[in-house]
Amino acid sequence: MSVEDKDMSDEKSGVTVEWKGYIIIEKVGYGDGKPGVMVVKDGCNAMPGATWFESVEQAKKGIAALILSEQTGGDFWMFMELAK
């Protein structure tokens, strides 16, 4: 974990990390039962299209893409493709 990460784990929710003002929460998939992580801010899914990720590292790339798109007025999905 980097200095920017804040481990907020508990036994019920699995891995939970605060990163750049967003909360990354480990969840079981929406209807498909696959594990993944979602990004939350102010209690709501913060990602466009309710995007969720397979790992904390992917979620961090998603947050970076979101921040960059907000700062530049650019396309979130284009930044997500560049982050792969």
32 exposed, middle or buried (CB, 10 Å; 0-12, 13-18, 19+)?
exposed
The model's pLDDT over 17-35, given as tens digits with 9 standing for 90+, comes to 999 999 999 887 666 777 8
Whether 41 shows a pLDDT value over 90: the answer reads yes
Do 52 and 34 meet the contact criterion of CB atoms below 8 Å apart? Answer: no
Q: Which residues pair with 41 in a beta bridge?
A: 44
**Domain extents for the chain?**
6-83
- This prediction has a pTM of 0.77
Selected residue with higher pLDDT from 10 and 64: 64
Q: Which residues contact 23 (CB under 8 A, 6 or more apart)?
A: 8, 16, 17, 39, 40, 41
